[in-house]
Structure formats: structure tokens, C-alpha cells
Amino acid sequence: MEKRKPSLTEVAEAAGVSKMTASRVLRNSGRFSEETRARVLKEAARLNYVPNRLAAAFGSETASTLVGVLVPRLSGGLFGQVVEAIDATLTRLGYQTMIGTYENRPEQEEAWLRSVLAWRPAGLILTGRAHSDGTMAMLKAATLPLVEIWDLNTRPMDISVGINHFDCGYEMGRLFLSRGRRRIGYAGADLAAPGLGRARLEGFEQALRTSGADPVAPEILDDRPSFYQGYYGAQNLLSRHPELDAVYFQNDEMAVGGMAYCQAAGLSVPGDIGIAGWGGMDVATVLERRLSTTNVSTRALGKAAAEALVARIRGDVVQDVREIPSILVPGDTL
């Protein structure tokens, strides 16, 4: 058998043109007659031609259809959804993603970047706005289209598509106050974190301070924010500060874990303790009461990021700061 894939040259020969003309037709760039176009496309279809992306990307720096996407993790939280949306959009637009995770560790981000740049991608999507010196140096040297997602950055390196975490925290802080909460704690978890979404805590604390409700020292666990960390964080926090009447969790998974702790400890929610999360995650649908949280449209974020990147790659005009709105859900647990 050994039926090698047909190359552009074979398509061109079948259509009776040079391979350059065939290349032009298939990329729809440059000039060619309608008749030529029809012949080339017909032969390409007949031979079941599949372009060798490797050769294309290699041959011309500008012809790459590869995009690198880096997020802290894929399991748990919302990043899986974000990546799904990015991938779906980029696929639709004719790009191929290289997805990686870095567990919030700068050295892993750097290693990933080095490795992906060896594939000469057309653009990158990174998470957060804090990067190590090594990462910054490589990004500068590469001068690639780049979208930073998640934390909105009003002075992005290139493009930022994100959420205003500060405002999320601030609004939630106001809600805590309006529900009469005054002795308030915060529980988060951030594996070796340079602080993704840390702005949420800052916004929250600022809101509390406007009314003199001084927040207690936040409980930040050195792990990924998950159910168990929520349970454990609530336990730690409430042991240290039994006087608390409300806890704000870094996300809904932690909040659900926190509610489980309250239940186990015989504390009623929202009677004894008010609880809120963030993210509008599916898991909250299992609660008896509607969780107080902030809904985030991960799909919209991923889609917007992918579209912005492609526009930049293509040289179109792009808004370089794009905020994805989030919606406060007052809920019944606060």
C-alpha cells in the first residue's frame, strides 16, 4: 500500500498549473482567474488533499495556524470550560491549539513557553498578568500576538480579556454588609500562587472597610481551591475566629465545601453563618438554597479571547482591553 498523502505539487499538476498558483487558490491569496480556481479546488477535493501544516508553518513564519494556550489547570474550577470555549472558537477559525497547564508555578509557565515557542506559534493565550522575568523576556523577544485572560489588565502587554475581580469582590462585600454581616472572614487557596483573582479579596476588603467592618486575616491554603479545601478552610477559620458571622470563599467549590463543614459543625446557613462563593459553578445547583455567588460567563470569556487573538493575528483592529461582565447572584445563603 504505502499510499502517501498527496502533496500540493500533485494537486497542481493534476490541475495543470504551477504549485504556486495552487497554493494561492487554496489560501485564497493573491490573484488567479475564476476558472483556475475551480480547477484547483476540484482536483484538491478529488485527491482528498490535506495540506501539510508543518510545512506551511515552517516555510513562512507568518503562515502558522498554531496557538499556544496556557491555564493553571484543566480539572476543577472554571478553566476547563474556558479552554473548551477557546479551543472550539479557534478550531472554527482554522487554528490549532496547543494547550498546557502550569499549576500557577512561574517556572512551569516558563518551561511551557520555551517549549511552545519552538513550534513558532502564531499567537498565545496566557492566564493572568503576572509573569516571571524569564517569561517576559521570551515574550518580548518573540513579539507575538498575545492575549492575557482571566484578570482584566487595563495596561496589557498586548490584549487583555478578563474579569474585573476587584469589582466582583467589592460588590460581594457590599452585599455582605447589606445583609447585616459584620464579622467576616475569607477562605481561599492558591497553589504557589502569584494571585490569580487575588484582586477579588482586595475589592472585598475595601468594601468592608468603607463601613468599618474590619475583615479578619484571610485563610489562604497552599493548594488548589477545591471542595475539601473549602471544608478545611472553613474549619480553620471558624476555629480561629468563632465569632464570625459570614465567610466569603474563593470560589463555589470551596463554598460548597464550607457549607458542608457548617452542616457538620451544626451551624445553620444562613442563620448562624452567611456564605458566598464565586464563579457560578454547576456544583452549586445541588444545594438546597441558592448559593450567593457571582456568575461568570466562561464561554463568553474564552470565545472573546480567541476572537481577539485571531483578529490581532490577521492584523484587524482589536479592542485591547475587553471586560467580560460578571453578575452578582444575591442567593439565599447570605
To a second copy, the closest distance from the beta carbon of 80 in angstroms equals: 3
C-alpha closest to that of 8 among 29, 23, 24, 28: 23
To a second copy, the closest distance from the beta carbon of 31 in angstroms equals: 26
With H, G, I as helix, E, B as strand and everything else as coil, classify residue 268: coil
Choose the contact partner of 9 out of DNA, a second copy, none; CB within 5 to 8 A by kind.
Answer: DNA
Select the residue interacting with DNA from 41, 47, 63, 260 (CB under 7 A). 63
Check residue 33 and report its DSSP letter.
-
288 lines the binding site for a second copy (CB under 8 A): yes
Cell numbers found for residue 312: 490581532
Cα(229)–Cα(186) distance, rounded to whole angstroms?
Answer: 12
Query: Binders of DNA among 127-156, rule CB under 7 A?
Result: none
5 lines the binding site for DNA (CB under 7 A): yes
Cα(297)–Cα(325) distance, rounded to whole angstroms?
Answer: 8
Cα(75)–Cα(4) distance, rounded to whole angstroms?
Answer: 39
End-to-end C-alpha distance for the chain, whole angstroms:
69
Cα(228)–Cα(75) distance, rounded to whole angstroms?
Answer: 15
Site string for a second copy, 144-183 (x = CB under 8 A): ----------------------------------------
Considering the complex, state which of residue 31 and residue 155 has its C-beta at the smaller distance from DNA.
Answer: 31
Sign of CA dihedral 67, 73, 74, 80: negative
Choose the contact partner of 317 out of a second copy, DNA, none; CB within 5 to 8 A by kind.
Answer: none
To a second copy, the closest distance from the beta carbon of 228 in angstroms equals: 5
75 lines the binding site for a second copy (CB under 8 A): yes
C-alpha closest to that of 269 among 305, 300, 294, 245: 245
Amino acid at 174: R
Considering the complex, state which of residue 119 and residue 263 has its C-beta at the smaller distance from DNA.
Answer: 119
Choose the contact partner of 163 out of DNA, a second copy, none; CB within 5 to 8 A by kind.
Answer: none
Q: What does DSSP say about strands 293-296 and 326-329: parallel, antiparallel, or unpaired? A: antiparallel
24 lines the binding site for DNA (CB under 7 A): yes
Q: What does DSSP say about strands 321-323 and 159-163: parallel, antiparallel, or unpaired? A: parallel
Chain residues in the site for a second copy (CB under 8 A): 3, 50-55, 57-58, 73-76, 78, 80-81, 83-84, 87, 91, 96-101, 111-112, 114-120, 141, 226-228, 230-231, 253, 256-257, 259-260, 263-264, 282-283, 285-288
Chain residues in the site for DNA (CB under 7 A): 4-5, 7-9, 16-21, 23-24, 26-27, 29-33, 35-36, 51-52, 55-56, 58-60, 62-63
